[in-house]
Structures are given as structure tokens and as C-alpha cells.
A and B are shown apart, each in its own frame.
Chain A
Amino acid sequence: MSGTFMGINIALSSLQAQQAALDTVANNIANANTPGYKRQRVLLGEGNPVTGPFGDGINRRTMLGTGVDVIEIQRVQDTFVDNRVRQTSASASEWAAKSDTLAQLESIFNEPSDQGIGSQLDKFWSAWEKLSAQPDDIPTRKALIQQAQTLTMRIRQSYGQIRSIGEDVDTAVRDKVGQINSITSQIVELNRKIQWSSSSGASPNDLLDQRDILVGQLSSLAGVDVFGKGGQDFTVILGNKILVQGTARDTLGVRLDAGGLQEVYSTADGDARRVPGGEIAGLLDLRANAIPGFMTALDDFASALAVEVNAIHNTGFTMDGTQAGDFFDPNTTAADFEVDPDILSSARNVAASDAALPPGNNVISNQIAGLRTQTLAVGRTINQLYQGIISDAGTQSALAKQYADTQNATLEQFTAQQQSVSGVSLDEEMTDMIRFQQAYGAAARILTACDDVLSTLIEKTGMVGR
């Protein structure tokens, strides 16, 4: 039943609704550049109609509208695109992590150039050739030892740098897993608030935005899947295991597995957790494959160099006519590669000769210098063994960069789609602002009209003939 003041109520509902819409426009413009903000929209609906005073009340009735109602303030989003962005960001950060680290690895070798291990190796063979020309010349012998030391130092250094990149990766994995724990604890906190807000009937848009941001971060760290929308049913899955469910969460840790590699595990049940994507997956993969691969390859190269040179050197004789020992210390690997202490103690212990006394005999130094182009049992020369490492580093790095670029381009496309749906358009907001501003003005005018009508009723009624 419509009352006397119904017009005022309708105008009021309109003023309130237009006000809410204008406030939403203000909020949208205010958050135009806020990361993770999804534009909001006021969903307006008609008020419940009431039976008017017209008609006979039995066969003929009139229904009067009672104004406007704010049904909901909605977040505008496309869940499909949001999911694509999340999934692509996981693989994009996985490959970005690989690409960055592999680029560091290849830059260690500083190839192709005249300064890398490759050139030092060439200079090492040349030093043996120079010894062939002057087998009993002490300065030539000392120059050879010096060159050998430069070579071993460069190999040690490169090995150490690869190892320290490995250690950096380990530290990064621990940091990132710590970040996951911090993010899941924030998600749990948000879930509690969302649950509470939802139960009071409100739509906690800003909390949902915050949670989306956190899930996005989680995904680029570890590649997670999510289900559910509310507070209690919201579930985050990490590699087929539940990471967060409502207000409960699993905390993760990092430990060494049986093979001495890092693995992520749950501190709750003590089981290992598979990390399906994201930066952590990229880092773990590097730690398990590329980094030890390069260390082994460098070890193999150093060991081939030592074995081949020593095998020939052992058959030779020192300047003092005694059977020569090793040239490279056979107890060392790439990590501590060094010239044999005997050689370091005296240049006379370098063997150039294959017979006890003749000072001009250069058979051994010629043979060792010949290793430059000699194909070993593995089917490659020592130089080619080293070139294989560089080629491998280059190929892996190029491949990772290519994947990272592709994933990034895809991510950019999906992000653009996401922003196209959920981003704030200033022109649109301006249009809305005018739309709601004018409606507000009109509603205010209605209020004035109602006021006039009422004042006529109150003040002019019963004043006949006065």
C-alpha cells in the first residue's frame, strides 16, 4: 500500500543507489593503478512493487514501483582468463628462473673469446711446443709451468663459480619456500575474514582481490591449482596435495633427499612434495640437472687433460735423468685442479725427453704438444671436450631463453585479456560518473517536487476563503 511519503522514499532509494554507484566509480578511479584490482560494478534492481490505491482492489489492481535497490557490488572478472594467467605465470617464471641462471652459467666461461679456458688450453699446448724447441732451457720450462698454472686456475675458478651459482640456487629455493609459508598464512587469514564477511551477507571484493594477488604469487613460485570461491571451501593444491583448505594450511620445508639434492617436504606429514611449476620448480630442475651436469663435464674435461698429459709425461725423464712423475696432480679434480707439487718444486722435473740424459731430446714434449689435435678414445680431442661444454651451455641457455620468451609472450596476452575484462577504463568511468550524477540530480529534483506537493497538502489544505 503506497503511503503519503512514498515519493520521498523512492527518491531516497534513488539518491542512495546513485550515491553508491558514484562511490563505486570513485573507488574504481582511485584503484585504476592498484595491482590486482578488479573493477567493480553496482548491480541495480527494482524495488519490490506495492499495491497502489487505485482500482477496485479485487479485479483491478495497480502495482506501484518502490524505487531502486542496490543488489550487489560485483567484481568484474573472467574466471577462465584468470586461471590461464595463473597457469601461464607458473611456467613463465619457471623458465625465466632457468633462463637467468643458465645465462649466468654460460657467462662464467667467457666464450667465444681470446680470454677463456679454450685459449688458455691452446697456450698450454704452445708452451709444450716452445719447450720442444729448447728442451733444456729453464726459463722456457718455467713459462710452461706458469701457463699450466694459469690453465688450472681458470678451471678451478670456473668450477667454483658454477658451484657458487648452485649454492645461490639452494639459498633461493629456501627463501622461496619461506615465502610460500608466509603467503599461505596470509591466505588463511584472508579466508577467515572472507568467511566472516560472507556470513554477514556482504561481498568482500577487496579481500577477494587481495587473495587473488596472493594466489598469483603462489602460482609463480610453485604452480598451484585452486578450487572454491568462499572462505571455507577455498582450496589450494600443490602437486596433488592440499596446501590450503579454508582456514587450515600445510607448512613446507626444504631438506636434502637421499641423493643430496634439495627437496620440498611437508612439515606436517614429513612427506616430500612435488612442485609442479613456478620458480621453485625451475630452480630445483637446474640444481638436479644443469648445474651438476656442468660440474661433471668440467671434471671430465680436467680429468681427461690430466690423464692424457700424465700418461705421456710418466714415460719421460726429468732434466736430471730420473724417471718423470705426473705433470698434473692426479689426486685433484676440477674443484682443486693443480700442477703436480714435484713440478712446482723444480722446473727440472718437467719431462721433455724420452731418454735419461740427452738434454736436446724433445720426444715427450712433442708428444704432449701433439695432444692439441689428437683424438682420444672418447672420439674427441681435449679441446673438443671443452668446446662441448660451451656448446651445451649455449644450447641450454638459448633454449631456456626461447621458452621463457614464448611463455612471457603468452602471459602478456592473457594478462592483456584479463585487464581488458577487469581493468578500469577511465573513459568508461567518466561516462558512468555523468550517468549517475545526472540521475542523482534528477532524484534530488523529485525530492523537491515531493516536498512541494507535501507542503501544498500540509500548508494549503483547509485554508479555503482565508
Chain B
Amino acid sequence: MRVSLSLQMDSTAAQLREAAERMLNAQRVVTSGKKITKPSDDPTLANRSMSLRCGINGIAQYQENNNLAKSSIDFAEATVGDIAKELKLLQAQANKVTATLSDESRQAMLSEIEDIRQRLLGLAGTKYLDKYIFSGTAINTTPIVANPADPAIPPYLYQGDAGIVQLRVQEDEKIQLNVSASEIFNLDGSAGAGVADVFTVIDQLETCVKAGDVQGASDLVTDIGALHSNVLGLQAELGSRSARLEDNATALTDMSNRMKELLSNLEDADLPSAIIDLQTQQNVYQAALAVTSQLMQRSLADYLS
């Protein structure tokens, strides 16, 4: 092949350009730490990386929801537990009713029962993050209020609604956060046939205490027992939701870690091999420069006199 000056110069320039470009690419991989920086570097990989990012972002939100739901449910569970304790105290009072109560002890019992009622009303109006937790979706409404009717039967009314508050904690799973005061205090009659709501039972107990009605009180002990186990059931329900969220949190973390690892495998450059590659390209480039500078200096003109 005939080698002309422009051929020699152009192909040398082209080879140097290619070597420089490869070196720059290797350098870009090392400095960015990424195998690809734009979709056209590898369209399939870019697509998978975008799907993974979308999945990871989603999971981050589910984790946030999971934490919110768990703290809210744990709070509700503790509150429901307190309510169960009050009912237990109420049952103890009912057990103390005898036919021969002294005025003093009757007054003491009445005042104790009044305290329990007030504490229960207070617990019913519990707020979490400034919102009522037992009033369904009517989160700005006090759940239990005194019945304004006369005679007031039942003595207290549920003001909330039957709304369910749910949060998404997995792609296809939502968890219910709330339990309504109407269930807790049996205003919906869910504790069993013939069992009145908590506040009606308290009123009845007061009547029994005042009258020394032992038989009535002993019936109420059974009723309070039913109310108590109703509340315990709700507490257990909340507890199991909390446990599910606990498991879910672990699952989400696992999933997120797995996806991040996949993404890293897809996107991140293998640093040692990237550095070796860069080093190789640098050597190639420098060798090309050295050889070129040797060859380009010589022509026949150097030897003619």
C-alpha cells in the first residue's frame, strides 16, 4: 500500500483520537462509578434500572406508611388496654356490692365509679397527632358525648362514624388503623346479646350500689366481664395488626435492600476492573503518543544533503 503524507497523518490522528476517546470513557466510568450514564449506553439496562428505581421509591413510601401505621396502632392498642383496665376496676366495684353497705362505703364506691366513668370518657377522647383516634373518619369530632335527650337513654352517644382509615403498607396490601369508640364501649351492641353499652352499665351499677341490689350487681359483673372481653378482643386485634406491621417492616427492608443491591449490580461499575481498564487505556494512549512522535519526525529530507 502506498503511504501518503495525509494518509499517515490522518490515520495517526484517528488512532490517537480513538485511544483518547476510550481513555475518556474509562475515566468517566471510574469517576462517576456508573456503568451507564445515559439510556443509549445500554437501553435494556437503563429500562430495568428505571423500573427498580420506581420500585425502590415505592417501597420507601410503604416503609414510611408502615412506621406511621405502626405507631398509630400501637398507641391505639395501649389506649384500648387502659380502657380494659378501667373495666376491670369497674367489675371489682360491682363485686363489692352487698346488701349491707354502709353509707360511707357506698359513697366511696359511687365516687370511685364516677372516677372510672370520667377516666373512660377521657380515654374515649384520646387524640393522636391532635386527631381523635376512636371516632372513625370523623377525626375532628369527640367520639363520645352526653346524650342531650331527657331521659338520656343511653346516657352517652357515639358521635363518630363507621369509617375505616387505611394506609397502604405493601403494593397490594392496606392496613386498617382505627377502631371505633362505638365498638369499644359496645354502643353498637357487638359485645353480645342483652349486654348494654359501658355507660348504661355504669348507670345501672350506680343504681345497684345505691339500692344495695346484690342480684343486679352480680348480673352486671357478668355484663362487665362480656364488655371487658370485647375490649380485650379489640386490643388483641390491634396487637395482631401491629405484629403484622412489624413483619411487614422487615419484609419491606429486605425487599428494598434486595432491589438496591440489584440496582447497584446493574448500574454501578466494578471499580477494580474499571480502574484496571483505565490504566490499560492510559498505557495504550501513552504508547501511541510515544510511537507517533518517533515516526513522525523522520522523512527522506532528513538524509538528503
Contact = CB atoms under 8 A, between A and B. Distances in A.
A348 B140 CA distance: 16
B163 A361 contact: yes
A39 B4 contact: yes
Chain A interface secondary structure, helix, strand, loop or mixed?
Answer: helix
Contact of B58 (A122, A360, A401, A423): A122
Task: Give the top 6 A-B pairs by smallest Cβ distance, nearest first.
Answer: A394-B39, A423-B4, A358-B137, A360-B139, A122-B57, A397-B40
Contacts of A254: none
Interface string B85-115: 0000000000000000000000000000000
Contacts of A178: none
B265 interface: no
Contact of A132 (B50, B168, B299): B168
Contact of B40 (A103, A370, A430): A103
B53 A114 contact: yes
A419 B4 contact: yes
A32 B301 CA distance: 15
B3 A395 contact: no
B68 interface: yes
Contacts of A420: 1-4, 7
Contact of B174 (A358, A366, A427): A366
A391 B46 contact: yes
Interface of B: 1-7, 9-11, 14, 36, 38-43, 46-47, 49-51, 53-54, 57-58, 60-61, 64-65, 68, 129, 131, 135-140, 161, 163, 165-168, 171-172, 174, 178, 267, 299-301, 304
B2 A107 contact: no
A415 interface: yes
A460 to B, nearest CB: 40
Interface of A: 32-33, 39, 102-103, 106-107, 109, 111-112, 114, 118-119, 121-123, 125-126, 129-130, 132-134, 136, 353, 355, 357-362, 366, 369-370, 372-373, 383-384, 387, 390-391, 393-398, 401, 412, 415-416, 419-428, 430-431, 434
Contacts of B167: 129, 132-133, 362, 366
Contact of A427 (B49, B137, B299): B299
Given A419-B7, A423-B5, A434-B304, A387 B50 contact: yes
A358 B163 contact: yes
A118 B301 contact: no
22 contacts: A33-B5, A102-B40, A112-B36, A122-B61, A126-B60, A126-B61, A129-B64, A129-B168, A353-B137, A360-B163, A366-B168, A366-B174, A372-B54, A383-B51, A387-B51, A387-B54, A391-B39, A394-B38, A397-B40, A416-B10, A416-B11, A420-B2
B300 A426 contact: yes
Given A112-B49, A393-B39, A383 B54 contact: yes
Contact of A370 (B2, B9, B135, B168): B168
A425 B2 contact: yes
Contacts of A412: 11, 14
B139 A427 contact: no
Given A126-B64, A129-B167, A362-B167, 12 more contacts: A102-B40, A132-B65, A132-B168, A133-B68, A136-B139, A355-B163, A360-B163, A383-B54, A394-B40, A395-B40, A397-B38, A419-B10
B3 to A, nearest CB: 6
Given A112-B39, A359-B138, A397-B39, A122 B54 contact: yes
Contact of B38 (A106, A133, A426): A106
A126 B57 contact: yes
B50 A390 contact: yes
B58 A359 contact: no
A368 to B, nearest CB: 11
Nearest to B65: A129
Nearest to A363: B166
A99 to B, nearest CB: 9
Contacts of B4: 39, 419-420, 422-425
Contact of B2 (A106, A390, A421): A421
A360 B58 CA distance: 23
Contacts of A111: 38-39, 46, 50
Nearest to B38: A106
B57 A32 contact: no
Nearest to B263: A112
Contacts of A428: 2
A132 B161 CA distance: 18
Nearest to A34: B6
Contact of B5 (A121, A369, A425, A434): A425
A358 B161 contact: yes
Contacts of A362: 137, 165-167
Nearest to B61: A126
B6 A419 contact: yes
A133 B68 CA distance: 8
Contacts of B65: 129, 132-133
Contact of B39 (A390, A421, A434): A390
Contacts of A424: 4-6
A35 B131 CA distance: 81
A382 to B, nearest CB: 10
B300 A112 contact: no
A209 to B, nearest CB: 13
B1 A430 contact: no
A426 B2 CA distance: 11
B199 to A, nearest CB: 24
Nearest to A122: B57
B6 A32 contact: yes
